[in-house]
Amino acid sequence: MNTIVFVPIKDYFQSRKRLWLKMLIPFLFGVAALVGAFVFDFGDENGICTIFSEFINVQINIVAILISFSVAIITILVSADNKNIEQLKNTPSSDCKQINGKTLSLFQVLLSNIAYNVIVEIIYLILLIVVVLIKALLPAVLFKYITAACVFFIMHILFVLLESVSQMYLTFWSKK
């Protein structure tokens, strides 16, 4: 089961060109959040803990909604039976690298984007739950680093989701 769960992640990383760019922008947001956390005064340790707890709670809600949205996109994609989906299945992608010597279809590219995003969202949700469970054991200064990592994850998830929604839009638009 472990290997099958991470197949979409492996395929995503193997097939995408300019993947570093998709990581760079969220990374810069995360660094900006970290710098902001150290530059601005958020009060004493209790204030930082309160802000951090609220931030994590909001993140859990956001990620749960994003997971539902991403699963809905997968449902639409795999259950749609029209000429646009058939055309996607039969059109090779020129924007991705080959996997196992095979060129991906546009349908596979779209499906791998969404599946990758769902898995990253679920992993991120699990990490957020773990943080909630162990936050009492962590020093307050570590919350700033965790917040920066959270900003990176949520920005990466949103960028991949934005790309997937754009691809879905173009799939069902008559003039591509």
Residue 54 lies in a domain: yes
Q: Which of 75-84, 125-134, 151-160 has the lowest mean pLDDT?
A: 75-84
**pLDDT band for position 91 (cuts 50, 70, 90):** confident
C-alpha to C-alpha distance for 28 and 23, rounded to whole angstroms? 9
Using an 8 Å Cβ cutoff, are 120 and 161 in contact? no
In a domain, 102, yes or no: yes
pLDDT value of residue 2: 59
> Does any domain span residue 18?
no
Pick the residue with more confidence: 135 or 101? 135
| Neighbouring C-beta atoms of residue 150, cutoff 10 Å | 23
pLDDT of residue 174: 59
Place 106 in a pLDDT band, splitting at 50, 70 and 90: confident
94, pLDDT greater than 80: no
- What is the DSSP secondary-structure string of 76-145? HHHH--SHHHHHHHHSB-SSB--BTTBPPBHHHHHHHHHHHHHHHHHHHHHHHHHHHHHGGGS-HHHHHH
CB < 8 Å & 24+ apart, contacts of 105-109: 107/77, 109/15, 109/167
CA dihedral of residues 9, 110, 152, 33 (deg, nearest 10): 170
Question: Does residue 38 fall inside a structural domain?
Answer: no
Of 7-21, 39-53, 145-159, the range with the highest mean pLDDT is: 145-159
More confident residue, 123 or 16: 123
**Residue 89 placed within a domain:** yes
The boundaries of the domain holding residue 160 are 46-171
Contact in structure between 14 and 97 (CB atoms under 8 Å):
yes
What is the total count of domains within the chain? 1
Q: What is the pLDDT of residue 47?
A: 78
